Structure formats: C-alpha cells, structure tokens
Amino acid sequence: MSDSQVEPMPLLSKVTIIGVGLIGGSFAKGLKEAGLARTVFGFGHNESTLKKAVALGVVDAYSTDIAEAVKDSDLIMLSVPLGVMKSVLQQMKPHLKKSAIITDAGSAKSSVIAAVQSVFGAVPANFVPGHPIAGKEKSGVEAADASLFVAHRVILTPSDTTDIHAIKQVTRLWQALGANVESMSAQHHDDIFAATSHLPHLLAFSLVDMLNEHKELGNVFPYTAGGFRDFTRIASSDAVMWRDISIENSTAIVKWLKEYQTAIVELTTLVEKQDGEALKTLFLAAKQARDKHIK
C-alpha cells in the first residue's frame, strides 16, 4: 500500500488521542498543524500532563473521562502501553459512535488484535492496527513533534475484513503527516520487529545488567567508550514499556533470542579457535550488509 501521493481528504470533526505522550502527542500536533481536524481531543489520567498538552498546542481540549473523550469522535488513536490496551478498549467500547475509526500505535500487532477480539468479540471492520516506526530519545508530551513521522515508515496490519474506507482514511492521515505507509500481516510485522527492534533492546538491557557492579570487574562504566555507549544507548528506554513488549510479543522474541544464541555459540567457537579468516569473513559480510541497507 506504499504510496507517495497524498490525497486531499475531508476535515474530520473530532479526533481523540488516548495517551498524549511522544507518539500520540506528535500525531495530534501533526493533525492540528495540517488542519486535518476541527478538534483534536486528548485523554489520559494525569490532568497536569493534559493541561500541558493544551498549553503546548498539542491538543485543543482534553478530558480524564473516557466517555467524554471518545463521544462523537470520528477517529480514535490508541497510543498507550500494550499492557493496558485491553482495559482502555473495554472502557471506551460503550461510548463509541458506530462509524468511529479506531487505530493504534502499538509495536506488537498480534497482541493488540487479540485484545480487540477479546473486547469486541471480533475485530471491528473499522479497526486499523498500525505501528509508526519513529521515536526520539526524549519522551512525554513535551517532546511531541509534528514532523516526527516525516519520511518514516508506518506499518498497517489490516485483515481481509477491515473496511477499505477505514484503511484509506488512516493511510491518508499518516501520509499527510509525511509518513510512508506500508501494509503487511500482523504475524510478519511481529517477526520483523522482534528481530530488528525488540531483540536489540533486550540485548542492550541484558549487557548493561550483566556488567552492572560485576563481581570481577567492579564499576566498569567510567571506562566505556563510543562502542559501548552506542550499543547500549537503548538500555535507557522505558522499562515498563519494554516489559510489556517482551510479554506481548514473547513468541516472536523468544524465536529470535534463540536464533541469536545460536549465532553467539558459532561466534564463540570461531574466537576460541582463533579462526581469523572466518572471523574476517563474518565481520566483512556484516559490515557490507549494514553499509548497503542502513544509511
């Protein structure tokens, strides 16, 4: 579904953002700056954060009452931790208008779809699962940036029963924010991101934890240089979010952890044997692959 052409679209009367943090806030701010909705409405439990969102121009109005937040909303963006997705869906279900389109920003799509099925009995035709591949070092509504998604991918994982109009509406909104939209199955999405995002985060967390106050080495962190800092930067990510991701995408993550274990065993053998030629071949192949595909 990749399409560089952004079609003009009718103005939405009300869009509701459930979870006005970096991703939800950036989506909201982008819609406001592009003039795509008459009202961008925020929902959350922390009123001081929501007041700040209004002051920063991220949303037009807010409520801590989910019924008020989703009432008469044309489109609802769920930008909440995976662990609370089902609870949020249950709370808002009785208050949705029939034509409301629902989408989300969760990074484990099978988990989100399972939560939706559990709450609604089946996945509603107007639910479009999504995952924007964008972020920042900083989090929270203060970091909201209308240009966050420009030239970044957004993956949609609709099913065969998802309404075409809903898919087009969500696609065009993301495109209007500068994103490149693609579609794939939820399972394929979860496999790809378990391997390329979730696995690296878990490895970074694990390495830092292993070396923290190590019995043999003591405090090694004052001696770390660029390589260690680059590799472990993502270990500073939010622990609760990554706990939820690890649980909600556990099947795919375990698969790729085991793949990596195999690769580590093979690498350990080459180092033990001091097989310079094989090590050089491995390192060169990895360098060439990264240089070719990652700029």
Tens-place pLDDT, residues 33-50: 999 999 999 999 999 999
Residue 2 domain-assigned (yes or no):
no
Task: Give me the pLDDT at residue 138, please.
Answer: 74
Summarize pLDDT for 174-225 with one digit per residue, the tens: 999 999 999 999 999 999 999 999 999 999 999 999 999 999 999 999 999 9
Residue 1 domain-assigned (yes or no):
no
- Cα dist from 256 to 190, 195, 202, 246, whole Å: 11, 6, 11, 12
Give me the mean pLDDT over the 7-22 stretch.
88
Query: Residue 19: which H helix or E strand, with range?
Result: none
Candidates 87, 29, 23; CA nearest to 60 is 29
Q: Which of the listed residues 184, 208, 241 is the one where a domain comes to its end?
A: 184
pTM of the model: 0.90
Give me the mean pLDDT over the 243-258 stretch.
96
Provide the residue range defining the domain that includes 130: 12-184
Q: Which two tokens stand for residue 48?
A: 């001081």
178 and 223 in a single domain? The answer is: no
CB 183 within 8 A of CB 155: yes
Q: Which two tokens stand for residue 16?
A: 């509701």
202 and 139 in a single domain? The answer is: no
Q: Which amino acid is at 184?
A: M
Q: Which of the listed residues 127, 156, 184 is the one where a domain comes to its end?
A: 184
- Mean per-residue pLDDT over the chain, rounded: 94
Residue 165 has pLDDT above 90, yes or no: yes
